[in-house]
């Protein structure tokens, strides 16, 4: 396979689509073959890989279309998926290679490992876990995809799936906090690019692990690296831990 590849951009006119376009423009090993948004029908035969930051529903539809025609490979960055949409993407990945991550930054993908490690070490009977995230006022889903990945990492560290231990949002007369639950809090305002903190709190001390995104080109660079990686992979559902080589086969 030649070193040069052809990429499509889904959600091309959006904040992330434009950031991806700019990053691709700076590389000489990739050409943008198609750009598309809501209501447009792309010619996927022109692409080796499509980088998609759109909506959960659009990403799921794109994954099913790519699976039906046996390609192109996909890099999905959209967030806010339902459990049913998750399952349909997993099914599509039986036919096509897909990288999906709620966050394409290196820092967050390192943070995931740190959170899992801390959760494993800190006894759930003594240590409460809360995930706090802040984003710009235009974000439409909460908790963020990253917060959910961090919550999943914390749950995994304690030997659970997140859904077994996810705390319902606190509101009204909540009663005392239940040990072992993992809570989420979301803040929305102005132009905040993306802030994530995982708070471990015991009676005697707190431990906070945090990440701040300074510019969204960060996510675009990670997604383009994922595109270069996934275009030659077998069908399957991968994430940024695979792209970065953090998970051994
Ligand atoms: N994984 C990560 O690292 C990151 C993930 N994200 C996620 O990426 C997604 C997009 O974020 P952002 O760019 O800020 O959002 P924007 O709203 O700025 O952009 C979304 C774009 O998707 C387009 N779109 C909607 N439906 C379709 C469709 N069916 N096919 C193709 N395009 C479609 C919209 O077009 P139109 O305006 O015409 O409707 C719009 O151009 C969100 O889910 C966000 O949470 C964001 C940053 C980093
Ligand atoms: O919508 C955003 O902007 C972001 N979304 C992702 C998420 O939901 O975690 C990643 C990043 O924090 C920016």
Which residues form the pocket of ligand 1, taking CB atoms under 6 Å from any ligand atom? Answer: 10-11, 13-17, 36-38, 53-55, 58, 77-80, 101-104, 141, 145, 216, 219
Which residues form the pocket of ligand 2, taking CB atoms under 6 Å from any ligand atom? Answer: 79, 102-103, 135, 139, 144-146, 194, 213
Q: How far is CA 215 from CA 98, 104, 105, in A?
A: 25, 12, 11
Is the overall model pTM greater than 0.95, yes or no? yes
Residue 56 CA, closest ligand 1 atom number: 43
- Give, using CA atoms, the residue closest to atom 40 of ligand 1: 14
- Averaged over successive runs of 10 residues, the pLDDT of the chain (249 residues) comes to 88 98 97 97 97 98 98 98 98 98 98 98 98 98 98 98 97 98 98 98 98 98 98 97 88
The answer to whether the bond into 192 is cis (omega within 30° of 0) is no
Q: Where are the domains of the chain?
A: 5-104+216-243, 106-212
CATH code of 106-212, in short, is 3.30.360.10
Pocket test of ligand 2: the residue of 56, 134, 144 to mutate, having most ligand atoms within 8 Å of its CB, is 144
84-110 pLDDT, tens digit per residue, is 999 999 999 999 999 999 999 999 999
**pLDDT at residue 1, rounded to an integer:** 54
Q: Are 5-104+216-243 and 106-212 equal in CATH topology? A: no
Crossing angle between the packed helical segments 83-92 and 56-69, to the nearest 10 degrees: 20
- Alpha helix stretches (DSSP H) within 46-125: 56-69, 83-92, 106-121
What phi, psi does 13 have (nearest 5°)? -90, -5
**pLDDT at residue 2, rounded to an integer:** 62
Percent of the chain with pLDDT over 70: 98
**pLDDT at residue 121, rounded to an integer:** 98
Class of domain 5-104+216-243: alpha beta
Any catalytic annotation for residue 196? Answer: no
- CA–CA distance, 37 with 60 (Å, rounded to integer): 14
């Amino acid at each position: 396979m030649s070193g040069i590849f052809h990429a499509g951009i889904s959600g091309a006119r959006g904040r992330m689509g434009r950031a991806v376009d700019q990053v691709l423009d700076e590389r000489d090993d990739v050409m943008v073959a198609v750009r598309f948004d809501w209501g447009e029908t792309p010619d996927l035969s022109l692409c080796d890989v499509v980088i998609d930051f759109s909506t959960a529903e659009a990403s799921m539809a794109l994954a099913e279309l790519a699976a039906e025609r046996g390609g192109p490979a996909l890099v999905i960055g959209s967030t806010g998926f339902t459990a049913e949409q998750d399952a349909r993407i997993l099914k599509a990945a039986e036919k096509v290679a897909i990288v999906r991550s709620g966050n394409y930054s290196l820092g967050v993908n390192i943070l995931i490992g740190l959170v899992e490690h801390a959760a494993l070490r800190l006894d759930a009977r003594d240590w409460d876990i809360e995930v706090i995230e802040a984003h710009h006022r235009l974000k439409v889903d909460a908790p963020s995809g990253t917060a959910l990945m961090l919550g999943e990492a914390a749950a995994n560290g304690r030997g659970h799936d997140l859904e077994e231990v996810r705390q319902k949002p606190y509101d009204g007369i909540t009663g005392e906090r239940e040990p072992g639950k993992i809570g989420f809090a979301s803040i929305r305002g102005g132009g905040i690019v993306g802030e994530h903190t995982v708070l471990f709190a015991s009676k005697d001390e707190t431990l906070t692990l945090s990440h701040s995104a300074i510019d969204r080109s960060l996510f675009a660079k990670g997604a383009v690296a994922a595109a270069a990686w996934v275009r030659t992979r077998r069908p399957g559902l991968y994430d940024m831990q695979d792209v970065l080589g953090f998970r051994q086969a």
